[in-house]
A = this chain, B = another copy of it.
Amino acid sequence: MRERLARYLPCLEWARHYDREAAGKDGLAAVIVTLMLIPQSLAYAMLAGLPPVTGLYASILPLLAYTLFGTSRALAVGPVAVVSLMTAAALGPLFPTGSAAYAGAALLLALLSGLLLLLMAVLRLGFLASFLSHPVISGFISASGILIALGQLKHILGIQVTGEHAFELLHGLLTGLPATHLPTLAIGGSSLVFLFLVRNKLSGWLQAIGFTPRLAGNLAKAGPVVALLLSILAVSLLGLADAGVRVVGSVPTGLPALSLPPLDLVLAGKLLPAALLISLVGFVESVSVAQTLAAKRRQRIDPNQELVALSGANIAAALSGGFPVTGGFARSVVNYDAGAQTPLAGALTAAGIAITVLFFAPLFHNLPQAVLAATIIVAVLSLVDLGALKRTWRYSRQDAAAMAATMLGVLLVGVEAGILLGVGLSLLLFLWRTSQPHIAVVGQLPGSEHFRNVARFAVVESPRVLSVRVDESLYFPNARYLEDRIAELVGQHPQVEHLVLMCSGVNLIDASALESLEAISERLHAAGIQLHLSEVKGPVMDRLKHSDLLKHFGGRVFISQFEALAELDPQTTQRAIGERHHEYSTSTLSQSARKEIDSEKRP
């Protein structure tokens, strides 16, 4: 009983062993993450097109929800750049930024993605997320980073730029350049420099003057908050707000009131696709961070329970005046490095944010938007990894194509279009590839029972038996292709009496391929050749038993290619295996193994 409950409320598990030491570590981590989260939550709310305070609201209840349901010890939930961008992209076309309708729609969006995540958890649809392939996600995040940075530059320059796509933004920035507001640029530019230095150099300098690496690192994390305070100070003292420097303005004090989002079904219908993509992207990003961090401490997370936890976090955000949230990469790493032991660190962070809203909200009135923009730019540029495109291209042109398509889609068309384009292309390329599979004639490796490609290995071929290995599941896109290739191969080997189809690479034979196999066996019969199968896998065999193929095709199903040859052409086979009797040498095999690794042929 307690077991089952603990599966849905993991907090019951870790709470039992919770002690003072863990509390200390969680507390320290919470302080550091809070200092990091304050500027980020304000900034990402601005990025999402919402009042900055909603960012703080989105960093209280959602964190508590994750503490209750989450299985990761180090994941830090809250507003993140990419999801905020997707929120803006979904709501921008529907409502004027800053309007009440816009804010209401953001709540509805969070509610929808919360419900979708719950649905995925209940129906065990977590695997849907895996259709966002690694190249697509990585391309998506890099492109989003660029798009976000471009979108924030207007705040640094203090100019008005409208537009969503890379070109529009670039054009707007160039044409707007002359109108640059110098005081804003001064603040924005200096905070950019400051934040870059803090991020990349400060920890080093602090260590140089004797701080311990750990302390130095933690202090460096507080950099953005320092930037906030300095800029607020500057604005207040120099009266820059009156000089036209755009500031956050009055921020309401007090905790968010609980309320239901506007339950507008028509609007919900419009937002559903965006909500689905936000859920999937958020889930993928969050789970991969959680898994990486868990692996470092040999802990495991339960992906399906993570769906529940993220669902809870988003529903909480929807009820408490926030917007869609998920587990953030940078923040979680900081949380982990700072020594967070349990999800309670998240609850303590929430407390920190709550205190901020209760007591320091008025402070943010004079906070320049330029500084928030600078925090965003510095944060997202670290997500941009263009090298990944080159690395992927070196490994697989098809994956690289999917990645490039995603990036171009995001930059030139839109975030949703980018993802769909990438996923669609990945699937198409896979199907195209499986529609013309690699088919190899195989022979026996001397001194072994193993059969490999005659074009790559020094193998023994039987003059009477043609051994063909098909490197693909047999299903409708390649059924006819198989017929043609087999006919070709038989044409090239007129003297053979048997053809053994080695099915080690065949993981499925669907109805279309079954038809093809029957056709192939008939045509081979006509040519006086008998078809056999070998190394058919259990699940495939179970199906074949329900078909007429085995009854009619007249051939046999051999347990292994070796057994097939041992029966159909004993002389050749025994000669090839021969060496075994005086001395069994792995070296020959390893050599051929090496030969395979060095082989450049790709028949």
Give chain A's interface residues, CB within 8 Å of chain B.
127, 129-136, 291-292, 295, 298, 300, 303, 392, 394-396, 398-399, 426-427, 430-431, 433-438, 440, 445, 448-450, 452-453, 455-456, 471-473, 475-481, 483-484, 487, 504-508, 510-512, 514-515, 519, 522-523, 526-527, 535-539, 541-543, 545-547, 550, 557-560, 562-563, 566-567, 580, 586, 589-590, 592-593, 596-597, 599-603
Q: Which of B396, B399, B476, B507 contacts A426 (CB 8 A)?
A: B476
Q: Return chain B residues, CB-CB under 8 Å to A547.
A: 395
In whole angstroms, what is the CA distance A438 to B398 when docked? 25
Q: Is the CB of A511 within 8 A of B399?
A: yes
19 example contacts (A-B, Cβ-Cβ < 8 A) are as follows A127-B436, A130-B476, A130-B512, A131-B476, A134-B476, A134-B479, A298-B526, A298-B527, A300-B487, A396-B543, A427-B427, A430-B510, A448-B449, A450-B559, A453-B538, A472-B473, A504-B505, A536-B596, A559-B589
Chain B residue with the shortest CB-CB distance to A478:
B130
Verify A449–B449 contact, CB threshold 8 A.
Answer: yes
User: Do residues B538 and A456 form an inter-chain contact, with CB atoms below 8 A?
Assistant: yes
Q: Known contacts A127-B435, A298-B527, A399-B510; decide if A445 and B559 are in contact (CB<8 Å).
A: yes
**Do A396 and B510 touch across chains, with their CB atoms under 8 A apart?**
yes
Q: Are B427 and A541 in contact (CB under 8 A)?
A: no
In the complex, the 4 A-B pairs of residues with the closest C-beta atoms, listed nearest first: A133-B476, A134-B512, A399-B511, A504-B504
A127-B477, A133-B512, A523-B295 as given contacts; A537 in contact with B449, CB under 8 Å: no
A475, A478, A566 pick with most chain B CB within 10 angstroms: A475
Q: Please measure, in the bound complex, the distance between the C-alpha atom of A449 and the C-alpha atom of B560, giving whole angstroms.
A: 9
Interface of chain A: mostly helix, strand, loop or mixed: helix
Whether B537 and A590, one on each chain, are in contact in the complex, defined by CB atoms closer than 8 angstroms, is no
CA distance A131 to B504 in the complex (A): 24
- State the number of copies, please: 2
> Which of these, B130, B440, B480, B559, contacts A592 with CB under 8 Å?
B559
Asked if B471 and A507 sit within 8 Å, CB to CB, the answer is: yes
Find the residue from A448, A480, A515, A602 having the highest chain B CB count within 10 A.
Answer: A480
Question: Which residues on the B side are within 8 Å of A590 (C-beta)?
Answer: 559, 563
- A586-B557 CB under 8 A given contacts A295-B522, A450-B562, A537-B505: no
Is A543 a contact partner of B395 (Cβ separation < 8 A)? Answer: yes
Given contacts A135-B511, A440-B538, A550-B597, 5 further A-B contacts (CB under 8 A): A131-B477, A395-B546, A427-B431, A448-B560, A472-B507
Inter-chain contact A130/B593, CB cutoff 8 Å: no
B contact residues around A601 at 8 Å (CB): 538
Shortest C-beta distance, A224 to chain B (Å), equals 31
B511 touches A481 (CB 8 A): no
Within the assembled complex, what's the spacing in Å between the Cα atoms of A132 and B586?
47
Bound Cα distance from A303 to B484, whole angstroms: 9
A453 to B536, CA, bound (A): 12
Residue of B nearest to A600 (CB): B542
Q: Please name all residues of chain B whose beta carbon is closer than 8 Å to the beta carbon of A483 when the two chains form the complex.
A: 291
Closest to A298 in B: B526
Residues of B within 8 A of A603 (CB): 538
Per the bound structure, the CA–CA distance linking A510 and B298 in Å amounts to: 26
**Min C-beta distance of A426 to chain B, whole Å:** 6
CB < 8 Å neighbour of A519 from B291, B504, B527: B291
Whether the pair B438, A557 counts as a contact (CB closer than 8 A) is no
Cα distance A136–B479 in the bound complex, in angstroms? 14
Given contacts A133-B510, A471-B539, contact A586 B560 (CB under 8 A): no
Q: Which of A131, A133, A487, A543 has the most CB of B within 10 A?
A: A133
The answer for the CA separation of A435 and B127 in the assembled complex, in Å, is 7
Give A100 Cβ to nearest chain B Cβ, in Å. Answer: 40
- Across-interface contacts of A558 in B (CB, < 8 A): 593
Cβ–Cβ < 8 Å partners of A580 in chain B = 580
